[in-house]
Amino acid sequence: MKIISIAAIAFCGTKKYTTGIRSTIDGNNFCGGSLISPTHVLTTTACLGSSTKPANWVSVGTHYLDGTQDGEQIKVVSAQNHTGYNSTRGSYDVALLTLEKPSKFKPVQLPAADDSDVIPGMRSKLVGWGYTSYPNGSKLIGKDSCDGDTGGPVIKERGSGDDDDIVIGLVSWGSECGAGYSTEFHACPKP
């Protein structure tokens, strides 16, 4: 798992509210998400999967891209995209996964309803399962989202630990892993 904005790999035992979304219990994480309650994961519509790669499982509390070495692997029992989602414009690219059983890991906090947690120009971090390096070194890693980061949280850190992190958005899409293109982040919509 990586954290963008400080160009670092997350250490084991940190950001355990970040989930991986996978088709099989021990398969590769193809998307990210955020544990927002013991039984709910916030992600993007693209991460709901497809008929060939469905979002059947989430891995919680692990730092492995695949397998069952640590953390939890919990079955997804339902998935719902935002009713306002528009695939052409990409608006409301938010989805909610419901888990079969509660996770033992602490969920990330949601932003305040009055938007006071988001300040224009503030620093934030992206946590995801995307590439952290390329064999030929031609991509700019640590400055943008990459393949596998979609659905992952954009967070505001308020202290030195993870207990008071706030998810303020999601990685919706990106292009070329920092090669001069932008990444689109979606703010968490108000209920």
Average pLDDT, the chain: 75
Q: Which residue has the higher pLDDT, 145 or 2?
A: 145
Q: Which residue has the higher pLDDT, 183 or 66?
A: 66
DSSP 8-state symbol, 71: S
Confidence band of 86 (pLDDT split at 50, 70, 90): confident
Q: Which residue has the higher pLDDT, 79 or 181?
A: 79
CATH number reported for the structural domain that contains residue 34 in this entry: 2.40.10.10
| pLDDT at position 84 | 82
| pLDDT at position 176 | 54
What are the contacts of 111-120 at 24+ separation with CB within 8 A? 111/156, 111/166, 111/167, 111/168, 111/188, 113/190, 113/191, 117/156, 117/166, 117/168, 118/156, 118/168, 118/187
For range 72-100, the mean pLDDT:
86
pLDDT in tens, 119-169: 777 777 766 655 554 444 444 444 444 555 678 888 888 877 778 888 888
Asked whether 85 and 93 are in contact (CB, 8 A), the reply is yes
67 part of a folded domain: yes
13 part of a folded domain: no
Task: Kindly tell me if the per-residue pLDDT of 1 is higher than 60.
Answer: no
User: In Å, how far from its chain's centre is CA 140?
Assistant: 20
65 part of a folded domain: yes
| pLDDT at position 177 | 52
pLDDT in tens, 14-50: 788 889 899 999 988 888 899 999 999 999 888 887 7
Q: How many CB atoms lie within 10 A of CB 92?
A: 16
| pLDDT at position 35 | 96
121 part of a folded domain: no
131 part of a folded domain: no
| pLDDT at position 129 | 59
Q: Give the torsion sign (CA, 89, 45, 175, 4).
A: positive
137 part of a folded domain: no
Distance CA 18, CA 61 (A): 7
Q: Which structural domain range is residue 43 located in?
A: 18-99
Give me the percent of the chain exceeding a pLDDT of 90. 23
Domain count, the chain: 1
Asked whether 156 and 188 are in contact (CB, 8 A), the reply is no
188 part of a folded domain: no
157 part of a folded domain: no
Distance CA 84, CA 92 (A): 6
